């Protein structure tokens, strides 16, 4: 089996990266993480990647005057490594339209809410303030407008009475760690594709998979 050469882009802690690395450690998993790139030299996730023996690369954004120049340097690193698929996992840079268009359909992100609710930052604070009883996380294709690309997979997580942003974040993060590997599997197997701005599933069974509370619930087979 040829596995899809995948890069993970991070800026910080890298817990989703760890979940993806754990999944791709299985030879039967359809994506192989061959590169981890960060814009932050001190990102903790880089240490996890190095410990796991995965090549890493740092492209410090503050060395570039223009966003397009940073993106060009990033693109060169990805092309050099013959990357086929990119996972953003806590990558805190807005990518230029040119970069996003170039990687369209091969660039996915995880966001800690049920999109299209709560795009942007302070997600858990805003979810609690709004009074929603269910939050969750979304893996979606990246399109030029931030947090607006079509969802590939979502997981629902209850908001408990008395939750703080931190307690809700922790519950959602556990779901993220289940959801991202499942969603990457779907993309790497070609069971979902970005077509005319929509996530199109190859067969009913994959489009019908819904993840509810992944820590206890079913996963995408």
Q: What residues line the site for ligand GRF (CB under 6 A)? A: 10, 12-17, 45, 89-90, 110-112, 173, 176
Smallest distance, ligand GRF to C-beta of residue 90, A:
3
| Nearer CB in complex with ligand GRF: 47/76 | 47
- Residue (59 or 108) nearer to ligand GRF, CB: 108
Cβ closest to ligand GRF, residue 164 vs residue 205? 164
Residues assigned a catalytic role = 111
DSSP track, the chain: -PPEEEEEEESS--HHHHHHHHHHTSTTSSEEEEEEEES-TT-HHHHHHHHTT--EEE--GGG-SSHHHHHHHHHHHHHHTT--EEEESS--SPPPHHHHHHTTTSEEEEESS-TTSS-SSSHHHHHHHHT-SEEEEEEEE--SSTT-SPEEEEEEEEPPTT--HHHHHHHHHHHHHHHHHHHHHHHHTTSEEEETTEEEESSHHHHT--EESTTTS----
Q: Least CB distance from residue 27 to ligand GRF, whole Å?
A: 24
Please, what is the minimum distance in Å from the beta carbon of residue 157 to ligand GRF? 12
């Amino acid at each position: 089996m040829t596995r899809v050469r995948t890069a993970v882009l991070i800026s910080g802690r890298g817990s989703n990266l760890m979940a993806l690395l754990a999944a791709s450690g299985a030879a039967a998993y359809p994506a192989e993480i061959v590169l981890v790139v960060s814009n932050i030299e001190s990102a903790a996730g880089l240490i996890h990647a190095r410990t796991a023996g995965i090549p890493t690369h740092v492209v410090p954004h503050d060395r570039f005057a223009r966003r397009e120049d940073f993106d060009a340097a990033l693109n060169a690193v990805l092309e050099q490594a013959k990357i086929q698929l990119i996972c953003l996992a806590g990558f805190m840079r807005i990518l230029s339209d040119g970069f996003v268009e170039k990687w369209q359909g091969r660039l996915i992100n995880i966001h800690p809410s049920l999109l299209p609710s709560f795009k942007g930052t302070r997600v858990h604070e805003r979810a609690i303030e709004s009074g929603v009883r269910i939050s969750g996380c979304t893996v979606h294709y990246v399109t030029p407008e931030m947090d607006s690309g079509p969802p590939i997979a979502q997981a629902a997580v209850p908001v408990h009475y008395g939750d703080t942003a931190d307690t809700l974040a922790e519950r959602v993060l556990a779901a993220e760690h289940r959801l991202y590997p499942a969603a990457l599997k779907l993309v790497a197997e070609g069971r979902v594709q970005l077509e005319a701005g929509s996530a199109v599933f190859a067969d009913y069974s994959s489009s019908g998979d819904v993840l509810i509370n992944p820590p206890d619930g079913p996963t995408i087979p």
